[in-house]
Amino acid sequence: MSKGRFGTHGGQYIPELLMNAVIELEEAYDRYKNDPQFCAELAELFKNYAGRPSLLYFARKMTDDLGGAKVYLKREDLNHTGAHKINNVLGQTLLAKKMGKTRVIAETGAGQHGVATATAAALMGLDCEIFMGEEDMRRQALNVYKMRLLGAAVHPVTSGTATLKDAVSETMREWTRRIEDTHYVLGSVMGPHPFPTIVRDFQAVISKEIRAQILEREGRLPDAVLACVGGGSNAIGAFYHFLGDESVGLIGCEAAGRGVDTFETAATVTTGRLGIFHGMKSYFCQDEFGQIAPVYSISAGLDYPGVGPEHAHLHDIGRVQYVAVTDDEAVDAFEYLSRTEGIIPAIESAHAVAHAMKLAPGMGKDKLIVVNLSGRGDKDCAAIARYRGEELSE
Amino acid sequence: MSNIQKAFDRGKALIAFLTCGDPDLETTERLIAAMAAAGADLIELGIPFSDPTAEGPVIQAANLRALSGGTTTDAVFDMVRRVRQTVAVPLVFMTYANVVFSYGTERFIRTAAEVGMDGLILPDVPFEEKGEFAPACRAYGLDFVPLVAPTSKGRVPMIAKEAEGFVYCVSSLGVTGMRDSITSEIGAMVGRVRAATDLPAAVGFGISTPEQAAEMAREADGVIVGSAIVDLIGQYGREAEPAVSACVSAMKKAITSGP
C-alpha cells in the first residue's frame, strides 16, 4: 500500500508529472513541521495576524431555548478573513515560502479559501492565481472582487459543472503546467498525500484550543463536537485532538441539499461509494460506471462530490458519525442563530448548528456540545434572502 | 514479446488516440478501422470520464460529448468485441483510475482481455499506486503501460525497469493538447528510459503536426497523436473518417520518412 493511507483511503492517484512535486512537498513538510523557527513564525501569524486563539463562546440563549445540553460555539468566524480557512493557508504559504516558491495557486468554491489564499499571498509577497467555477463566481461576486483587490488573478472555470470539483481539476491541471516555482495551496483535507495530513495538522489548532478552553470553563471534555463536512477541513480540525477520547462524540454534518433521497444532494458519506478521484481513494458521489455525479447544496463550500480520506476512514471505523442536513434545515439554523445569539453563521457552519438544534433538546442539561462555527455568514446573506424569495442588491 | 511491443517492429510506430463514443460508438468503430488502415500501428482507446484531470480542452470536450451520448464502459467493451473481428492492430485502453476501480478492477481487466485489448494506461496512477492494477493486468495478459514526464528525473529508471508494453514519455509540462512548440529535452528523457529498459519509448502530449511527429520520431521509437485527431472528430463528427485517415497517414509518413 502506498503512502498517506487512512485505512484503505488516501494515497497518491495523480499524474506522474506531479509526483516529484508532492514528494518535494512531503520532504519540506517533514523538515519544517517540528522546526522551532517555523513553528514560532506560524504561531506568531496565528496570534497577531489571524487573531487566534478564537473564542469558545457559551451560547446561553440558544442553550436556554433548546432546553437541553449546554451549547458552546467555537468562533472560527472571528478569524481574519472570516473562516477557519486562514489556518491552513498561513501554514501552507509559509511552507511554500520556505521551499522557495514564488507563486501560489488555489481552487475555491464559495470563495473563502480563495480570499484566504489571496490574503496570505499578499502578506508574504507571493504571486497568486485562483481558479473558481464560473457558476460560483456568479454566486459569490463579492469574494471575487476581494480576491482581485488583494492582488490575485481569478480565473473562471467553465468545464464540467463549473463548481468546486471543476475548480480543483483545473488547479491540478494548472499545477502540471507550471510546477517549478508554484505551490498548490489545496484548501481542504483532500487530494493526494501529503495534503490531507498537512491541512489537518494546520487545522488541528481548532481542537487543541477547544480542548484547553472547555477544560478551563467546564473542567471536563465535551460530550459532542459538531462540525460541517464538505472536504472536511474544519471538521477534522475540530475533531483531531478528541479522536482518542471515546467519551467525546464526534459528528460531521454533510450537506443533504434537497434531501439524500434526491439527486440534488452533496452528502458523500451518506450517498456515495468508494472511488478514486482528485488524487485520493475515498467516498464519492458517482454513477454505476464511476462517473462523478453533479452534486448540489445551497452552500457552495459543501458542494463537493467527495470527502477527505481521513473522514472516510473515521466513518469506516465508527469513530465519527456523519449525518445529513438539508438546505431547509440549514437556512432555518442560519436565521435562528442570527436571531437568538446575534451571530450570523456561514451557511456551511449553519449545517452544524442545525444538527445541534436537533441534538441538544434530547440531551441532559449537564451535557456539553461544542459546535464549530467555521465561518461567518455575511457572504451568504444575499443568497439566503433569495432563498426566502427576497431580492437583495449587494 | 507482447502484441504491443510487436507494434514497434516495423520501424517507428504511430500511436493514434481517440475517445470512445465521440460522438457515438458506431463512429468510433469505423474510425478505429480507418486509423488502422491508414497506418496506425497501435490505437489508444479513451474510455470517457466525467472529470479527466490530465486532459486539455480538446479531449475534455470529447469526454463530455461521449458521456452526453450515453457511452458506458459496458458499451465500450461491446464495441471493442465487434471491432476485434476485423482489426488486428494492438489496442490499449486509456482511462482514469475510477472508471476501472468502480467497475471492479479485476472484472474490468478480465473483460478488457476477453474482448481483445492488449494494454491499459491510467494517467492518474503513478508508480506508487500501480500495485493495485498491474498484477491483475499481468494475470490476464494486459500490459500496464507507465508514463514518465519531464519532471520524473531520478524516477525514470524505477518506472522504466518495471514497465510493460512500452514507456509513454510525456513530451512537456501541462495537460494533453496541441502546442506550438515542444521544448522539453525529449532526447535526454528517452535516453534515460533506454538506459533502464529494452522496451520501446513513445512520445506523446502536444504532437499535432507531421513536422512535430517527425522531430519526435528522430528521438523515440514511437509517436502518440491524440488531441489533433480528437479535434478533427470534434469538427466533423460522424463524417470524420476521411479527415482522420488523412491525418493518420500524414503522421505515419512523416515519422517513417520525414514530413
The two most distant CA atoms of chain A are separated, in Å, by: 57
Q: How many CB atoms lie within 10 A of CB A129?
A: 21
Q: What is the pLDDT of residue A140?
A: 84
Q: What is the mean pLDDT of chain B?
A: 95
Q: Name the E strands within chain B.
A: 13-19, 42-46, 91-94, 119-121, 143-144, 147-148, 167-170, 201-204, 222-225
Q: What is the pLDDT of residue B55?
A: 93
The minimum CA-CA distance between B48 and chain A, rounded to whole Å, is 9
Q: Which residues of B touch A18 (CB under 8 A)?
A: 151
pLDDT in tens, A18-59: 999 999 999 999 999 999 999 999 999 999 999 999 999 999
Tell me: pLDDT of A394 over 80. Answer: no
- Is B144 buried (19+), middle (13-18) or exposed (0-12) by CB count in 10 A? buried
- The reply to whether A70 belongs to the active site is no
- The reply to whether A85 belongs to the active site is yes
Q: What is the pLDDT of residue A62?
A: 98
The confidence band for B63, taking pLDDT boundaries of 50, 70 and 90, is very high
Q: What is the pLDDT of residue A61?
A: 98
Q: What is the mean pLDDT of chain A?
A: 96
- Asked if A350 and A369 touch (Cβ cutoff 8 Å), the reply is no
A394 shares contact with chain B (CB less than 8 Å): no
First to last CA, chain B: 31
CA distance A364 to A197: 36
CA distance B51 to A252: 27
A26 shares contact with chain B (CB less than 8 Å): no
CA distance B228 to B239: 16
Active-site hit among A74, A85, A97, A379: A85
Active-site hit among A26, A107, A174, A209: A107
Tell me: pLDDT of A393 over 80. Answer: no
Q: How many CA atoms lie within 13 A of A245 on its CB side?
A: 16
Tell me: pLDDT of B257 over 90. Answer: no
The confidence band for A2, taking pLDDT boundaries of 50, 70 and 90, is confident
Tell me: pLDDT of B259 over 60. Answer: no
The closest of B205, B197, B217, B121 to B156, measured between CA atoms, is B197
pLDDT in tens, A155-188: 999 988 888 999 999 999 999 999 999 999 999 9
Q: What is the pLDDT of residue A145?
A: 96
Tell me: pLDDT of B181 over 90. Answer: no
Q: What is the pLDDT of residue B184?
A: 67
Q: What is the mean pLDDT of residues A232-237?
A: 98
Q: What is the pLDDT of residue B178?
A: 75
ipTM, 2 dp = 0.96
Q: What is the pLDDT of residue A110?
A: 80
- The DSSP letter of residue A334 is H
The confidence band for A210, taking pLDDT boundaries of 50, 70 and 90, is very high
- Asked if A132 and A155 touch (Cβ cutoff 8 Å), the reply is yes
> Which of B20, B47, B51 to mutate against chain A (most A CBs within 10 Å)?
B51
3-state percent breakdown (helix, strand, coil) of chain B, nearest 5: 50, 15, 35
Tell me: pLDDT of A250 over 80. Answer: yes
Tell me: pLDDT of A282 over 90. Answer: yes
Q: What is the pLDDT of residue A181?
A: 96
Q: What is the pLDDT of residue A161?
A: 82
The confidence band for A135, taking pLDDT boundaries of 50, 70 and 90, is confident
Q: What is the mean pLDDT of residues A290-303?
A: 93
CB contact under 8 A, A16 and B103: no
Closest CB from B56, B152, B175 relative to A16 = B152
Tell me: pLDDT of B182 over 80. Answer: no
Per-window interface: B 8-27 vs A, CB < 8 A = none
Q: What is the mean pLDDT of residues A364-378?
A: 97
The confidence band for B46, taking pLDDT boundaries of 50, 70 and 90, is very high
The confidence band for B1, taking pLDDT boundaries of 50, 70 and 90, is confident
In this prediction, what percent of chain A has a pLDDT beyond 70?
A: 99
pLDDT in tens, A220-229: 999 999 999 9
Q: What is the pLDDT of residue B183?
A: 66
Closest CB from B125, B131, B151 relative to A13 = B125
Q: What is the mean pLDDT of residues A351-364?
A: 98
In this prediction, what percent of chain B has a pLDDT beyond 70?
A: 98
B148 shares contact with chain A (CB less than 8 Å): yes
pLDDT in tens, B202-254: 999 999 999 999 999 999 999 999 999 999 999 999 999 999 999 999 999 99
Closest CB from B125, B146, B173 relative to A179 = B173
B89 shares contact with chain A (CB less than 8 Å): no
CB contact under 8 A, B51 and A177: no
- The reply to whether A97 belongs to the active site is no
Q: What is the pLDDT of residue A1?
A: 58
The confidence band for A300, taking pLDDT boundaries of 50, 70 and 90, is confident
Tell me: pLDDT of B73 over 60. Answer: yes
Burial A338-360 (b: 16+ CB within 10 A, else e): bebbebbbbbbbbbbbbbbbebb
